[in-house]
Structure formats: C-alpha cells, structure tokens
Structure 1
Amino acid sequence: MIEAFGSVPSTGRTGLAADASSTGEAARWAVGLLTAARLPSEEFVAARLVPSFPSRAARPFTATLAEWRAKGPFTVRAYEPVAHKAWITLAGAAGKRYTLSLTIDSSGLIRILTLQPETVVPQVRTWDELERALSVPGVEHSVLAARLTPHGPLVLHESAADRPMPTGSAYKLYVLRALVHAIEKGEVSWDDEVTVRPELRSLPTGDMQELPDGTRVPVRETAHKMIAMSDNTAADLIADLLGRAAVEHAVAASGHHDPSLLRPFLTSHEVFELGWGAPRARAAWAQRDEAGRRRLLAEIAGPLTVRISDLGETVHHLGLDWHLTGYDVLHVLQGLLDDSERDATGTVEDILTAYPGASIDRARWPRVYFKAGSCPGVMMFCWLLVDPSGVPHVLVLRQASDRQDRIGDGLVLRGLGARVIASGLLHTDPADGTAAGSAADAEAAR
C-alpha cells in the first residue's frame, strides 16, 4: 500500500531533508544523482529503479543522467511532495531552473524520473485568468467548478462543461462505484482476492502489472491502488471480478448523461490493445455498433501485445477512451461521496482520500477526493473538496488534442487546479468573478 497523504508545504533543501517518508527518501536519492561528485554506476542506479523503467530499455540510464548533470551544478530551490509523487525545483548553471519529477511504486522503487525546464504555472485570481491560461491553440479545454447543495449543484464557473470529452482514468471512478455496490449487496467483500492473470495484465500507470502470474491480492489493496496510484492492472482486475455489466450499470446509476457512450465499457487493457496493437481492430472499432464492438472485444481477448513504447498517435477520436462531460464527472464524485457516508468500515473514504493530487491546505479543505486521467492527447484532473463546515465543492479540468505535444505532461493543468483551490475562488458567490480578498487567500494564490 502507498502511504496516506500527510505532507506539509516544504521549500528548499530544508523541506527535502525533513521528509521522512518513502517519497522523501527517494527524492533525496534522486537529487544525489545530480549533485554527487561522480557519476554513479549503472548497477547503483538500477537498484533503485523498477525493472520496467522506460529509459533503460533504450540505453543505459547513466547516459541520460550524464546529460542532466552537465546542466549543473544544482541547488535545491523548492520541494513539493504529494503521497507517491514529488517535484523538486533545481537551479542549475547560470541560474536556469529545472523541475525534477519522480513517482515511486508501492515498494519505494522509482517508476518515473524526469528532468525538464521548470514548469511555470500562471497565477489564477479570477476565472477569466484561468480561461486565458487554458487557451492553447489546438487544444480543447473544459472547466466545471460547483458547490454541492441539498438543492443541486451551484455552478461557480463553467466552460464547455456539457461537452463529452475523453477523460482517461476517470473511468476508474465508475469501477469503484460498481465495487461498492457489489459489496453492499454481499456479492463481494473487501477481503476477497483477485488473481493476476496474463489476459488481465495492463500497462502502467501503477505497479501491479509487475506481479507474477497467479499472485493473489486482496480486493481492498487492489481498489486502493486503482485510485491512489491509478493502477491500470488493478482496475482491470476489479472490473473482471465484477463483470462488464456491473460497471455499465454503475455508469447509468451514477447519472452519466448518455451511458451508451461507455458501452461496451472498456478496460485499460482493451484500450491499449485496440488503440496501439491491432490496426485492423482499431479501424473496425470505429465502424461497428455496440453489438459489433462487443464481438470485437471477444476476438482480441488474450495477453497484451502492446508495450508502453508503442503508444504514440491519439486514438480518442475513434471512441477509444471514456467520454464524459464535466457534469458526468461531478455526478460520479457526488455518488462516491454518498457511498463513503454509507460505508461503516471507512474503506471507501480511505481509498478516495489517499492521494489529493496537489499540496492542499487541510485547514481550508480537510477532506479531499482526487482523480487524474491521461492518455495520448488527453489530460484531466478532478477534485471533490469538503470545507470545514461540511460543504462539498467540485473542480473538473479537462484538455484534449489530436497531438500529445500540445497537452504535455500535465504539470500545468495540475498546477492550475492547485492555484484555483488555493485562490479562494471556490468560496465565492457565482456572480462574483474574483476570489475572496483576504490576506491569507492572496498569499495562497502566490
């Protein structure tokens, strides 16, 4: 299991040194790779990376590391840990700044490690500023911010919120709802187990795809990884346990505006195989009706033939993704909030609050649900945040393009979400386009 979120805002080397978590330890090790007197050996580096670490497949990672080190010497300027992820801002030669990003798996090994020029997130003090920041040529975007009330959602701001768009891993919210419903009916228990099988193994994100065939994992742990680490294999194992029809029922029960858009409900394994492993099947998918698509899924069933390096061109325009409106996302988050409040075990709440997606002031938002989603040409982030008085708020940010390079790695979209949450905009009246004007809000928005 990954560690529950409990970090505090940290800056510079002091914050990095003080983080006693597995993420902090990995971050210090990664910074050491760039600041040590000598380039470490390949064996030393490989011991801390997952076996499937992407760069190792093409060339020794120490070659990449040598290129990074040439940009130094480095000084740590800022450190932001959030559960199993961390971002370290470094000042290099001539003061040029970089972001060292890392993600660890559940055993503490590093799954992703990148060094890029620092990502600068624009300030957001008004909804207009957010819209300007999201206006990128060749990229569709959508925003929905709402306060949940007993009389329905009170919309604070929206743009294209009723447009169906691909949302990547947001589909896992429906799988979790289907699981909760099955547990409530006594069909499944949290202590049941799923078994890793070749035909259910998917690609990252996550780490369950690394488990040997036949490994048995409790449903509770699998569901936790499905949401907190967005583990694709975990989601496919849960979906297989429940059956496709149960997840499709959860889509309709959660208020999706057009459930037929998610029928048949795809697993991540199926999207990868159709999208990048079977050109003829991909073309057939775009042309067939629902019944024909179900037959096609039966035809491609089996171990995955696609590797992470095969992913390239976008396929969401062919229906190979999970299309939701901003309101669909809001409704499934609201449904999970209701599910959590019925769950006397607290398991649903533990799963949904394990990873908040950004550093969030818990005095202002003591309860946070988060889910991200991405695929080539797709990026989305959504939050459900409950304030100290118990009022829930929802923020949904979505981007889609026919080119991945226009989307990037999501740091800007994630950062804009964090800016909105810190700004006070979610606490304003819908008629007011500016954030609350307190000194604390002004400082948080900086």
Structure 2
Amino acid sequence: MVRRIVAVIAALTLTLGLPAAPALAASPAETQFAWLIDASARLPVPADELAQHLDQALLAADLNEALRPVAPLTPAAVISSSPTQLRQLVSSPAGTLLVSLTVNPSGLITGLRLTPYLPAPTTWTAVDSSLRTLAPRVSFAAMRISPAGCRLVHGQNPDTVRPLGSAFKLYVLGALAEAVKSGRLSWDTELPLNPAWKSLPSGVMQNEPDGTVHTLAEYADHMIAISDNTATDHLIHQVGREAVRRQFTRFGNSAPNAPVLTTREFFALKGWHYPAAASAYAALSPALRARMLPLLDRVPLTSITAWPNPRMIDKVEWFGSPVDMCQAYAGLWRQHEPAVNAALTINDGGVALPAAEFPTVWFKGGSEPGVLTLNYFARAADGDLVTASLMLSDPARPLDEASVAPQAVALLRGALQLTAG
C-alpha cells in the first residue's frame, strides 16, 4: 500500500511539473527476500553466493535441498514488514507458503522458515465443520476480552479441561511478572545455568555451558518464543513452584495442577521406568506427589527416552481449558509489562494475521504425543482484544501434526478474524 501511494504521488508530481518523490529504498529484509525469490528459480545456488546471504548457522543447513520441493517461489501478499523481519506469502508448486525471514545487523539472513498457509474459514459453520476433522477430542473457544472478563463468542466444549502441553508456560510468565511487580525480582536479574535444572528439548539452553549467565528477560524470551524447557525450569525454580501454582489460581484456572511439574520432572515421569513411576505418581495425593519430585529431579537426562505414543495424557500433564487460556491472556494483558509483551510477540505461531488489522499477536502452544494445543491472543486495530484457543487430544494414538497443525492454524486465524469482526 505504501509503495502504491508513492507511485501515485510520483505520477501527480510529474503531471504538475514538480520534482518526483524519491523511491523508497528496500529494507535489508526486503532485499534478502527478493534474493530468495530469484534464487529459488535457479537452483542449485552456488556455495559462494549462499555465503553472501546466509549467516553461519544457516549455511550449515542445505538451503538448496530445502527449496527444491517448493521452488520456484512467486511473491504474494505481505503480512508484516520491518527493516529486519519480513513475513510474506508466496505461491509455489507445493501450494501457498508463509515465508518468515529475519536478518542480522549485517544484513545476512539469520532466520528462514517456510510453512504451509491454508485458507481460513470465513463462517462459524465452516469453523465447526473443520473442528470435526482434527482429533477425537476437541475443545475450542473464540472469545472477546473486556474489563468485565472473557466473553464466549463461539465454542465447542470451551470449559472442558484438556492437557495443555507447553501452554502452561503462560502461567510461569505470569508468576515471573508478579515477582517483578512486587520488587522481589527484576527482568535484568542475572541467573547462571544450573546443570541440575537443565531439561530436554525443545530449546537450546540445555546445550550451553553450565554457568552461562542470562537475564530473567532472556529466559522468558526463550521460554515463550521457542518453548525452551531449560529456560522454563530455571524460571520455575527462581520464582518458586508455589508462586507458579498460585498464578494458575490468580488467572482463574482451577484444574488440578498441584504440584506444578518442571519439564524435567515431566520427562522423567514419561520417559524413565514407564509406566511404574508415572502410575505411582498419579495415584498419590498432591502433598505426596510433591515429596516425590526430588527423586525425579535426580533422574539423569541420559536415562530418559522419548516416547512415540500417548502416555497418561489425562493424568500426568498440565491442565486447563480454552476459557482458562483466555483468562490467562487477559491476566497477562492486565499486567502491562513490556517484557511480557516482548516475549509473547516474538513468535506468532504461524497464524500470519495482517499486521495492519492486528498490530499485536501473542501465541503459546504445546504438544506431546497425543496432544496439540494452540492458543492465540490478538489486539485488533480498533483496540478490541480477542482470543482463540484449540485443544486437541487422543489418548490412544499420536496426532499427525504435519497434517493437523496447518489446518488448526488456519482455523484459528479465521476464528480470530470472525471474533474481531
């Protein structure tokens, strides 16, 4: 739109005999996007050319191989743009994709993601039809937030408690913000990595040397943006497990979340001597469960193995409903903490809402075998606050996330637009 306006102004000034307006210079992100489009039509791109456009981390990946199934790319609508970040749709032989591109101060590409972009439903009837195809168990709510609280606009089992996966990290973030507000902690408080608090992926902090120092704001950014489990556990230990439990209550979540598990304890219960340890834990009262946690904390990470199929997703997890997610987002919004907003806006979960229509978008999701939850908050251009939360689960079989997730994201994009409209 900006470029179209500039073009019109240029045409008028020529007609009037006035000096033409200077052309807008492309931003570093736009320049690299243009290169990507051009490069996609002439694969393979030589190594020396790649080195002129990609940082060292991306050079280690095989961009030619990644682009081959989707090339060539044709640019389409821009979702959002800044000098260092660009999110734009492209058409390709594989369908419409969302390109998320980030550059560093030197102009090299440091982040590049191509994700499926499916059309969003435009009616609640279409939303309901899509919901029925996603999983055996579904909870969904599209809601508006006002000073009076969360109001349901459309839903399916909106109050039904489901496993949250990593969406529980919203409550850790809220507890941290409360500790900062009280003066007990600061976003600039430094915390070294403790080997006893390291967890398993997702995330990257588990790979850093013990003792590496980060601020609490940096831990929060990692916890929310890339769902870093080691960052999460450090924050739980720093603010206190009981403070996180109280945050569930403060934000209106009454599901059974006591004691609050760290991610390391969660992995131990499901990936170490399963099902004996998990069954014993699930049978205990909350007070006795708390006494078992130090034993789980001593389980070496090397003794924990991944599990491909659902394991006790209704007994060993963190829990809440779509309505609870709206209340959590409403609580975080009321905290008016810039660091909270900064953490939640780094990653929009691929929903790709037009920035002009939705200047603020927050996201936190979660998953494990048999569980997928996606939760969005958005502030519309007119100031309206809306949320859309979708919780899918199957206690018997893993969900096909590669197929289900793009459909779920498109559904929630449509739900947010319908709710705001």
* TM-score normalised over the length of structure 1: 0.72
Q: Secondary structure, in 3 states, of the residue corresponding to 2:121?
A: coil
Contact kept, 8 Å, 1:182 with 1:188, in 2: the verdict is: yes
Question: Residue 174 of structure 1 corresponds to which residue in structure 2?
Answer: 171
* Stretch moving more, 123-132 or 356-365: 356-365
In structure 1, what residue type is equivalent to 2:263?
A: S
Q: Give the distance between the partners of 2:142 and 2:38, measured in 1 at CA.
A: 37
Residue of structure 2 in register with 1:323 after alignment: 319
1:16-415 → structure 2 map (5 Å cutoff): 20-21=28-29, 36-37=43-44, 47-48=56-57, 69=68, 71=69, 74-76=72-74, 91-92=92-93, 97=95, 119=116, 121=118, 123-136=120-133, 138-258=135-255, 261-279=256-274, 280-302=276-298, 303-305=300-302, 310-340=306-336, 343=337, 346-357=338-349, 358-402=351-395, 403-408=397-402, 410-415=405-410
Task: Please list the CA deviations of residues 38-94 of structure 1 after superposition, one character each: whole Å capped at 9, or x if unmatched.
Answer: 7979xx99953599xxxxxxxxx87x976984x5764446587789897875644xx
Amino acid paired to 1:172:
K
Contact kept, 8 Å, 1:377 with 1:407, in 2: the verdict is: no
Code of the aligned partner of 1:415 = A
Give CA deviations for 1:126-177 in whole Å, capped at 9, x if unaligned.
1121111121275311211122233343321111011110121111110011
Tell me the amino acid that sits aligned with residue 168 of structure 1: G
| Distance in 2, Cα, partners of 1:120 & 1:255 | 34
The CA distance in 1 between the partners of 2:159 and 2:383, in whole Å, is 27
Query: Partners in 2 of 1:352 and 1:296 — Cα distance?
Result: 33
Larger Rg: 2
Q: Structure 2 counterpart of 1:252, which letter?
A: T
Q: Which amino acid aligns with 1:222?
A: Y
User: CA 1:110 to 1:372, structure 2 compared with 1: closer, same or farther past 3 Å?
Assistant: farther
2:394 & 2:34 partners in 1: Cα distance? 32
1:265 partner letter: V
The alignment covers a number of residue pairs equal to 385
CA apart distance, 1:269: 1.8
Deviation at 1:294, TM superposition (A): 1.9
1:313 is paired with a residue of what secondary structure? coil
- Aligned sequence identity (%): 26
Query: Against the structure 1 CA distance between its residues 32 and 374, is the aligned structure 2 distance closer, same or farther, given a 3 Å change threshold?
Result: farther
Of 377-386 and 346-355, more deviation after overlay is shown by 346-355
Q: Relative to structure 1, is the Cα distance of residues 386 and 87 closer, same or farther in structure 2, using a 3 angstrom cutoff?
A: closer
1:417 corresponds to 2:412? yes
Shift of 1:214: 0.6
Name the CA shift for 1:204/1:109 in 2 (closer, same or farther; >3 Å): farther
CA distance in 1, matches of 2:134, 2:386: 30
SS at match of 1:274: helix
Counterpart code for 2:174:
R
Deviation of 1:203 (Å): 2.7
Output the CA distance in 2 between the equivalents of 1:269 and 1:413: 28
SS at match of 1:404: coil
Distance 1:67 1:385 in 2: 32
When residues 105 and 419 of structure 1 are mapped into structure 2, their CA distance, relative to the original with a 3 A threshold, is same
Unpaired segments ≥5 residues, structure 2? 4-25
Contact kept in structure 2, 1:119 and 1:412, CA below 8 Å: no
Q: Is the 8 A contact 1:86 1:102 kept in 2?
A: yes
Greater displacement, 158-167 / 231-240: 231-240
Partners of 2:33 and 2:149 in 1: CA distance: 44
Query: C-alpha distance in 2, partners of 1:28/1:311?
Result: 41
- Residue 250 of structure 1 deviates from its aligned partner by 0.9
The 1:367/1:221 distance shift into structure 2, 3 A limit, reads same
How big is each residue's C-alpha offset from its partner over 1:407-445, in whole Å with a ceiling of 9 and x where there is no partner? Answer: 4462221122122334xx2145xxxxxxxxxxxxxxxxx
Equivalent position SS for 2:28:
coil
CA contact (8 A) 1:175 1:239 kept: yes
- Quote the RMSD (CA, aligned, Å): 4.0
Paired residue secondary structure (1:330): helix
Decide whether the 8 Å contact of 2:245 with 2:259 is kept in 1.
yes
Q: Deviations along 1:199-234, whole A, 9 cap, x unmatched?
A: 222233332222211101011121122222322221
d(CA) in 2 for partners of 1:72, 1:183: 46
Compute the TM-score of the two structures, normalised by the length of structure 2: 0.76
Alpha-carbon distance in 2 for matches of 1:30, 1:161 = 42
The CA deviation string for residues 268-306 of structure 1, in whole angstroms up to 9 with x for no partner, is 222222212331322322332223322332112134236
Q: Residues 29 and 354 of structure 1: is their aligned pair in 2 closer, same or farther, counting only changes over 3 Å?
A: same
